[in-house]
Amino acid sequence: MNKPLRRVAIFCGLLVLALLIRVNWVQFVQADELKEDEHNRRVDIARYSQPRGNIIVDGDPITGSKETDTGDFKYKRTYKDGPMWAPVTGYASQVYDANFLEKLNDGILTGDDDRLFFNRTIDMLTGKEKTGGDVVTTLNSKAQKAAYAGLKGRKGAVAAINPENGAILALASAPSYDPSKIAGMTEKDGENYKALLADKDKPMTNRALRETYPPGSTFKVVTAAAALENGLYTDIDEPTKSPLPYKLPLSSTNLKNEGNIPCKDATLRNALKVSCNTVFAKIGDNVGRDKMVEQAEKFGFNKEIFTPTRSNASVYDTKMDRPGNALSSIGQFNTAATPLQMAMVASAIANDGKLMEPYMVEQLRAPNLNVVEQHKPEPMSQPLQPENAQKLQEMMETVVEDQGGTGSKAKIPGVTVGGKTGTAQHGVDNSELPYAWFISYAKTDSGTPVAVAVVVEDGSANRDDISGGGLAAPIAKNVMEAVIDSEK
């Protein structure tokens, strides 16, 4: 071979080598980057080229897919009772991506999850169209309907948990939205999405998980737990030696109770029954900030919770002074909680002090119904010893069952119900409308199937503790009844 030909051959060889290096670099190094590039439509086209798997409640799908003739996406997502289930499903949009369960389980729902490789291989060999798997939830459809109906026309949220295993039974938020109306890529879908973002009532915010509220007097059960766990009191019927009026520590300000209620030297039981600010603020100060922080964190405060959908961290301030701690002990000052968090508090108390990790996905299924992943309930913490939890149960049951208790509207005939009302003031100098709270649990002969937290942002709420009993307790009652009825 002469010299010029040899040079051409070497040059061509180098070009081939460079091409091989480039191809391997693109395929193995840049693959994920190119796949996720916003300008790469092939991934999204493939994503919507077949029906999406479903999200399942009580054995039935609450989602679906339908063919569309708009653009180059063959299928779009549909939702059954979309506004009611939006806090659970989230949305899957051809334009705006996805969130909540739709996003977290996208691989299973589209069929692209590595665990579905065998199914994809069989489908390819048989010529069958690729389909997605299913996400089976722990949700109870009757409880969700009761929660959503109770919030109709209001702003607020409901979270319900099975205390025995942590399964989330209801997760409602109002106002809500219909994910079907933003699932496509039409001009109308775009207008709907922009309107939702501009809505001052924030219908796309999952208030049960992503909104933190001052918990008001419902937090007094956490303070009572701290008193029992730290040996401040052992008998819930002994006088607490609480003065009236009670002056905040390091302050000349007297803390007020709502109305003329018997709070001087009140027992723990009666103090919770009529909701004495003075008693529980004094308890919080006696226990001390560090022990109060420790108790709150055992219930889940100060960290995000994953259900698997993320829930914002509830807050109990770790650096406040003594007056701040006293006020925080009655759910004021900087204390803030999600409805899920307060349902977890009620759940742990009802479950004899053991807090189970909350979850809402029971299993992930392949298209052939084989189980790909099964959730195993796990303990999260032990906020109370069983004997102290049972004492606190007695106190909460007094709130509902005894005459004069603030939670009487949550009574269910033949069922033992424990609860705690709360009205949380907020805004500068408490200028904003208060939030009405109620947390509760229900016990039957066969166990404790449900704990609930309800918060209502309502203009008709009175500035006293009874608002939680009047506005939120009836919603909690209906949710508890729905769970109990569904188990019959």
**Beta carbons of 261 and 276 less than 8 angstroms apart:** yes
217 is catalytic: yes
Give exposure, 50-82, as e/b (b: 16+ Cβ within 10 Å). bbbbbbbbeeeebbbbeebeebebebbbbbbeb
Sign for the CA dihedral angle at 275, 276, 279, 284 comes to positive
- Structure-block tokens of residue 421: 């009302």
202 burial (CB, 10 Å; 0-12 / 13-18 / 19+) is middle
- What is the DSSP secondary structure assignment for residue 447, as one 8-state letter? E
- What is the phi/psi pair of residue 141, to 5°? -65, -35
The torsion angle over the Cα atoms of residues 16, 19, 25 and 28, rounded to 10 degrees, is: -80
Q: Which of 93, 176, 217, 329 is catalytic?
A: 217
* Spatial distance between the Cα atoms of 291 and 444, rounded to a whole number of angstroms: 33
228 burial (CB, 10 Å; 0-12 / 13-18 / 19+) is buried
Q: Which residues are catalytic?
A: 217
